[in-house]
A = this chain, B = another copy of it.
């Protein structure tokens, strides 16, 4: 069948629309979703199409409506929740930490909680310390929740189909800069993909090799994948062949895939827009270190958000983001 070039936003919307057309168990809720279609337009036009019963604009009561979603899931529905910014998890964290993630286990498998929580992450557009965080490690540290993080349109559609057909609680992250929505300017080219019209699934727990390379591996997730790609372009000018790996999924984490990819180059820069310490970059390094450090010719390097609140002003924010220039610089160090 035919495919079109889509943004992540449109691709994700297609998956949700497909499932909603065919299944009664899915409904959407979140702030302003009825009129605005969700932060990434994943529910764009759904208000008119599916009506206010299935596309529910909620009060600003995240503990209330995400907790309700968990209850509806226990009763056989599959709610799809829009939580615009991951910075807001602070007001509803218990539902994530203790309710939606642990009920299946605490009930010995008797109760299922199939629900999909869409959350936007990341900065780079001067929205300051309370609207620019990634915090993906915070949610991935919770046992009992799957955490996925597509960075292109093809994966966005396929992984959303997968999430919607999964019997578990999935946190589906999208970096705001990758989605291709109006308020973030012209979409980043590498986020766009050919997207098949029909439905398809992309399995969780497999890294994606975005670009083959032989000299150095650049690992990223969300927006930092695209910074890695930019860095790889830049490195290519120097004749350095960089492999770019997208983690795509934090829970489950494809540890074998990481090992296999890194082994191909023997040099590693891990990038992460989330805070450096106690996060994803550490887990990747630890995995390699405990499994087989000899696959690396040199110690790995991390390029991550330092452990500081995110500053508003552009010169400061740009200085702390894990941007392509910094990634390329570290890769060059490894090649020296």
Q: Flag if A280 contacts B283 (CB, 8 Å).
A: no
Q: Flag if A293 contacts B282 (CB, 8 Å).
A: no
Is the CB of A188 closer than 8 A to any CB of chain B?
A: no
Q: Which of A99-107, A213-221, A232-240, A256-264 contacts B (4 or more CB under 8 A)?
A: A99-107
Query: What interface size band does chain A fall in?
Result: 35 or more
Q: Which of A23-31, A115-123, A300-308 contacts B (4 or more CB under 8 A)?
A: A300-308
Measured in the bound complex, the distance between the Cα atoms of B277 and A250 in whole Å is: 10
Is the CB of A203 closer than 8 A to any CB of chain B?
A: no
Tell me how many chains of this kind the complex includes: 2
Q: Flag if A288 contacts B290 (CB, 8 Å).
A: no
- Minimum distance in angstroms from A41 CB to a CB of chain B: 26
* A residues 276-290 in Cβ contact with B at 8 Å: 277-290
Residues of chain B within 8 A of A87, CB atoms compared = 97-98
- Minimum distance in angstroms from A111 CB to a CB of chain B: 13
Measured in the bound complex, the distance between the Cα atoms of B99 and A309 in whole Å is: 11
> A95: which of B90, B101, B129 is its contact (CB, 8 Å)?
B90
- Minimum distance in angstroms from A217 CB to a CB of chain B: 14
Q: Flag if B277 contacts A251 (CB, 8 Å).
A: yes
Is the CB of A61 closer than 8 A to any CB of chain B?
A: no
Q: Which residues of A contact B (CB under 8 A)?
A: 63, 87-91, 93-98, 101-102, 105-106, 128-130, 135, 137-138, 140-144, 250-251, 253, 275, 277-293, 299-302, 306-309, 311
Q: 6 closest A-B pairs (Cβ-Cβ)?
A: A90-B94, A285-B286, A282-B286, A93-B93, A282-B282, A282-B283
